[in-house]
Amino acid sequence: MISVVVIAIYLGLLLTLALFSKTLFRGTSKDYFVASHSIGPFMLLMSVFGTTMTAFALVGSTGKAFGGGIGTYGLMASSSGLIHAACFLLIGMKLWAIGKRYGYVTQIQYFRARFESKAFGYLLFPILVLLVIPYLLIGIIGAAKTIYGVSVTKVTPKGEIPGAFPDFFENGAIPPWLTGIVICGVVLTYIFAGGSRAAAWANTFQTIVFMIMGILAFYLISNELGGVAAAMEKASDAHKVRTVDGEVGFSQLTFLTYMFIPLSVGMFPHLFQHWLTAKSAKSFKLTVVAHPICIAIVWVPCVLIGIWATGVPQLNGAPAGAVLAKTVAVLIKNPVIVGLVTAGILAAIMSSLDSQFLCLGTMFTNDIVLHNSKKEYSDKQILFMARAFIVAIVVLTYILSLVLYKKNVFDLAIWSFSGFAALTPLVIASLYWKRATKTGAYACVIGVFISWVTFFTMSGFGGEYFLLGGIVPAAAMWFIGAGGMVIGSLLSQPPSKETVSKFF
Amino acid sequence: MNKKGIILIVFLILVVLHQDFWNWDNANLVFGFMPVGLFYHACYSLVAAGFWAIVMKVAWPTELEEWAEGGTDSSKGGDQ
């Protein structure tokens, strides 16, 4: 019960901060969508980092290390340090400049103009929404599982510890439907209040919280296990190397081809929107340099906790998504600390959800409703449409989260990342290849979509899947997308001189 | 060779160094608690940060900001 109170206080603080940011809201649609290009270096770093680090960072890294060993860090974290920063510098900054110069607030606006095709937006929009939805799902399901684990009745050798609400819910645990409503409600409240600006403020606060809580959990867990050396000594030997041993370890081919997955940040629509909030190009400097360090600060402790958990008998057979929550619950009995660490996990989740909700509303309003509209809408009407679409998507995702509650959410996330990663030839060619054309863009997106659906189906709709003994599907799809772009462009007329001079 | 070429080569070297196959089955612990394979990649993150810091210093695109400020803001950017 005390843990739940701590979490409730955290959510209250978050709402207070985000509602304060409303006082800075200028009431215009431009301020709502891209914070009037006013976000400085520190807030840009925190909001971009917080957005890229989802439930995947704290919960997923621990669970994946518990299942696969130390290779988890190289597979997802150190590669991201290199590739994400490259995307921020080579894609993000350039898109920020183009967005600022021509007033774009969504990716689709840019692609429509660059590829001289209005219809292209109608192809890309549903694909981007389809790929964002699994990403939203991991947030809501991850939060629901975490809160359930913290509040459920626990059976220990010393007896039963009652759940948080034994008189109201089965096993005393807060049910997934309630957690989903609360999390979505909190995020929607601050997104509605101040749009991009509120998201940036809330993300800054939440990113600081989840980084501190991750370190706190690391310190307390290592203490409970007798120190870092003793904790590692008890851990399974198979988890300390990358050699494939049953479920543990990774093949070198998988390790190599996994480097394609971090490319996804180059095509995330919510990151595009964050990039556009930057006050100046200089705001990117801190984000590019500090991002790999921030990843290390969060991921090294989480991966170590996952390895140590293999030496804790009570955690034998724990599901991947529950390892962190169970480790905290088993080893740290102080309910205030459990509440704080859980708040940290929720912070990581919500700092991604807000940007994703916001970007979907922004895309729908600008790319579908306002695009080609003959009617003039007021800022008030535009904001209403954006918010209405966000609510519709949240309701759909919420229902899906209840239906798919038992699904391994982290495998779903990899499919989302893989789809976005495979689309990066589109943005890279648009920015750096004058010869890239509309036909190439269509071939790229259609090729990626067909291959994504094919591999997703072959995986059993969201399971782990490899090609030719270890190649991740993202790598194969990336080459399909790149091939489509190159062949389609070379077989068609070059873009007009006006378009080339506008963007190069 | 120009600066961009050197940066690209260093980037590709970093990609190769990420595949530390020589640490694959090395179970030694650094400082008595950190498996070598994990320690190597934690250091790799710091090297990546250092690399990007140097790139920022030597190849900052000053002209990009000026170009960005030079345009007119359109409320309907998607129109051609």
Q: What is the pLDDT of residues A418-451, one digit of tens each?
A: 999 999 999 999 999 999 999 999 999 999 999 9
Please report the pLDDT score of residue B80 as a whole number. 38
**Amino acid letter for position A130:** L
User: Would you say residue A155 lies in a domain?
Assistant: yes
Q: Which residue has the higher pLDDT, A282 or B14?
A: B14
Test B45 with A293 for CB contact under 8 angstroms: yes
Best to test chain B binding among A78, A116, A120, A275 (most B CBs inside 10 Å): A78
User: Would you say residue B41 lies in a domain?
Assistant: yes
DSSP A504: -
Q: Say how many domains are in chain A.
A: 1
Residue B27 with chain A: CB contacts under 8 Å:
237, 240-241
Confidence of residue A409 (pLDDT cuts 50, 70, 90): low
- ipTM tops 0.85: yes
**Which range is least confidently modeled, A130-144, A229-243, A327-341?**
A327-341
CA nearest neighbour of A380 among A391, A392, A365: A365
Please report the pLDDT score of residue A123 as a whole number. 95
User: Would you say residue B73 lies in a domain?
Assistant: no
Asked whether residue A161 carries a pLDDT value surpassing 80, the answer given is: no
Give the mean pLDDT of A9-20. 84
Tokens representing A373 are: 């509209």
Identify the CATH number of the domain in which residue A340 sits.
Answer: 1.20.1730.10
User: Would you say residue B74 lies in a domain?
Assistant: no
**Which range is least confidently modeled, A150-154, A368-372, A472-476, B40-44?**
A150-154
Asked whether residue A312 carries a pLDDT value surpassing 80, the answer given is: yes
- What's the pLDDT tens digit per position in A92-136? 999 999 998 998 889 999 999 999 999 999 999 999 999 998 888
User: Would you say residue A466 lies in a domain?
Assistant: no
Q: Say how many domains are in chain B.
A: 1
- Reduce the secondary structure of B13-36 to three states and give it as a string: HHHHHHCCHHHCCCCCEECCCEEH
User: Would you say residue A250 lies in a domain?
Assistant: yes
Best to test chain A binding among B11, B41, B63 (most A CBs inside 10 Å): B41
Average pLDDT, chain A: 88
Residue B73 with chain A: CB contacts under 8 Å:
100, 102-103
User: Would you say residue A173 lies in a domain?
Assistant: yes
Asked whether residue A382 carries a pLDDT value surpassing 90, the answer given is: no
Q: Distance from B3 to chain A by nearest Cα, in Å? A: 15
How far is A280 from B68, CA to CA, in rounded Å?
9
Give the Cβ contact number of residue A395 at 10 Å: 11
DSSP A495: P
Q: Provide the residue range defining the domain that includes A213.
A: 2-371+378-408
Please report the pLDDT score of residue B78 as a whole number. 44
Confidence of residue B79 (pLDDT cuts 50, 70, 90): very low
Using an 8 Å Cβ cutoff, are A324 and A100 in contact?
A: no
How far is A412 from A177, CA to CA, in rounded Å?
20
Q: Distance from B2 to chain A by nearest Cα, in Å? A: 17
How far is A44 from A271, CA to CA, in rounded Å?
11
Q: Distance from B54 to chain A by nearest Cα, in Å? A: 9
- What's the pLDDT tens digit per position in B47-71? 999 999 999 999 888 888 888 877 5
User: Would you say residue B7 lies in a domain?
Assistant: yes
How far is B52 from B67, CA to CA, in rounded Å?
23
Q: Distance from B70 to chain A by nearest Cα, in Å? A: 6
Please report the pLDDT score of residue B76 as a whole number. 43
Test B74 with A102 for CB contact under 8 angstroms: yes
Question: CA-CA distances (angstroms) from residue A69 to A39, A54, A255, A474, B77?
Answer: 38, 20, 13, 22, 47
- Reduce the secondary structure of A152-206 to three states and give it as a string: CCEEECCEEECCCCCCCCHHHCCCHHHHHHHHHHHHHHHHHHHHHHHHHHHHHHH
Using an 8 Å Cβ cutoff, are A340 and A330 in contact?
A: no
Q: Provide the residue range defining the domain that includes B49.
A: 3-62
Asked whether residue B72 carries a pLDDT value surpassing 70, the answer given is: no
User: Would you say residue B35 lies in a domain?
Assistant: yes
What pTM was estimated for this model as a whole? 0.90
At residue A29, the 3 state secondary structure works out as helix
Q: Up-side HSE of residue A405: CA atoms within 13 Å toward CB? A: 14
Label residue A88 exposed, middle or buried (CB < 10 Å: 0-12, 13-18, 19+). buried
Nearest to A288 among B14, B56, B67 (CB): B56
Select, from the ranges A371-375, A411-415, A476-480, B68-72, the one with the highest average predicted confidence (pLDDT). Answer: A476-480
How far is A167 from A151, CA to CA, in rounded Å?
13
Using an 8 Å Cβ cutoff, are B56 and A292 in contact?
A: no
Please report the pLDDT score of residue A72 as a whole number. 93
Using an 8 Å Cβ cutoff, are B33 and A225 in contact?
A: no
Helix ranges (H only) for A53-151 are 55, 61-68, 71-72, 79-87, 93-102, 107-114, 119-151
Test B75 with A290 for CB contact under 8 angstroms: no
User: Would you say residue B25 lies in a domain?
Assistant: yes
User: Would you say residue A266 lies in a domain?
Assistant: yes
Residue B76 with chain A: CB contacts under 8 Å:
103, 370-371
- What's the pLDDT tens digit per position in B12-26? 999 999 999 999 999
